[in-house]
Every structure is written in C-alpha cells, then in structure tokens.
Amino acid sequence: MHSDQKALEQEALESLDSLSAVPKLQGPIGRVIGWVDTCFLTLAVVALVAIAATVLLQICSRLFLPFSIAWTEELSRYLFVYMVALSVGVVLRQNRNISVELFHHLLGPRMQAAFQVLICLLIGLFAFLVLPYAWQYAQNGTWQTSPTLHVPMLYIFFSTVVTFGLLLVYSLLGCLEGIIAMCRSSASLQES
C-alpha cells in the first residue's frame, strides 16, 4: 500500500510540473548525483533547523532574560543565505523554481526536453558570467568581520560563489539530461 501511495504521489507531482517528464540520469552516475543532491538538501535542512533554533533562542532571551542576545539576528540571516545557496542547484534540477507555465503542458516530450536545455543554458550562461564577480565580491570580505559574531565576511560573502557555482554545475547537468532526452525521443520516433 505504501508503494502505491508513493506512486500516486509521484504521478500527482509530475502532472503539476510538465518539465518533470524529462528523465533524470540513471545508473551509477544518477545514484551519485542523487547522493550529492541529498547531501546539499540535508545541509540546507540543517541550516533551516539552526535558523529556527536561533530565532527561538532570540525570542526566549527577550522574554526571560533581562537582556537580549545580539548575535542571534545576524546568525539567522547568515544561515538563511547559506540555506538558499546550498539548495539552489537541487531546486533547479527538480524544476521547483518559480516559473510561469503557460504552454509547457502543450509541448511533446522532445520539445519539453529542448525547453529544459534552453532554460538551463540561459541559467548556466548567467552563472558563468557572474561567477568571477562573485569571487571578487567574496574576496572583499577578507578585510571585514561581521559586527556581532566577528566572523570574517569572506565566509559570508562566499555564499555567492556557492550559489553561482552550483547553478552552473546543475544547469550543465540539466542541459545534459535534456539533450539525452531529446536524442532518445528522436531515436524512438525514427524506430516507429
């Protein structure tokens, strides 16, 4: 029964998102990519839980202590930035980013794959162009420290490098999956 429920859930999710029809990589490479996705999502969830704990600590300190803890707001902000940075690639791969779907459901499998390649190419190109500037921005933090935590801002500003680096890698992966899907659908059209 549990497997039937999972299958129905997966089918419902795929019907909501037409681009999920583009198959993901399978085999050993797909398993490694899935493991890496799980690692990034786990780190993002840890950051989210840490945000909740930090905000709860801030609330408790304001209610029950004669003083409020100053560093909690800053830490929660930095954790939020890294949560987004660590999950951006997986969100792109799973097509869970915000998009306007006006005509996706009208496209056939080959055109959906081509559309995925186009979107991933545009995102990858943007990430490729911005990545050197993100690195320059991160290096600006070498001489600065955060106001209350006194952490070198290099570590905080490095989140931009992580964001655009993961976007670049995952957009290349999305392009590869789309190209493979286009080749497979054209091969199946030639066989029929």
Question: pLDDT, tens digit, for every residue of 127-157?
Answer: 999 999 999 999 998 889 999 999 999 999 9
4-49: pLDDT as tens digits: 887 777 666 555 555 566 777 788 888 999 999 999 999 999 999 9
Residue 138 included in any domain: yes
Better pLDDT: 96 or 10: 96
Domain count, the chain: 1
Residue 72 included in any domain: yes
> What pLDDT score does 192 carry?
47
**Mean of per-residue pLDDT scores for the chain:** 87
Can you give the pTM of this predicted structure?
Answer: 0.82
Q: How many C-beta atoms lie closer than 10 Å to residue 174's C-beta?
A: 24
Residue 11 included in any domain: no
Residue-by-residue DSSP string for 26-69: -HHHHHHHHHHHHHHHHHHHHHHHHHHHHHHHHHHHHHHSSS--
Residue 64 included in any domain: yes
Residue 20 included in any domain: no
Residue 6 included in any domain: no
Of 71, 44, 59, the residue nearest 149 (C-alpha): 71
For 171, the domain range is 26-98+105-191
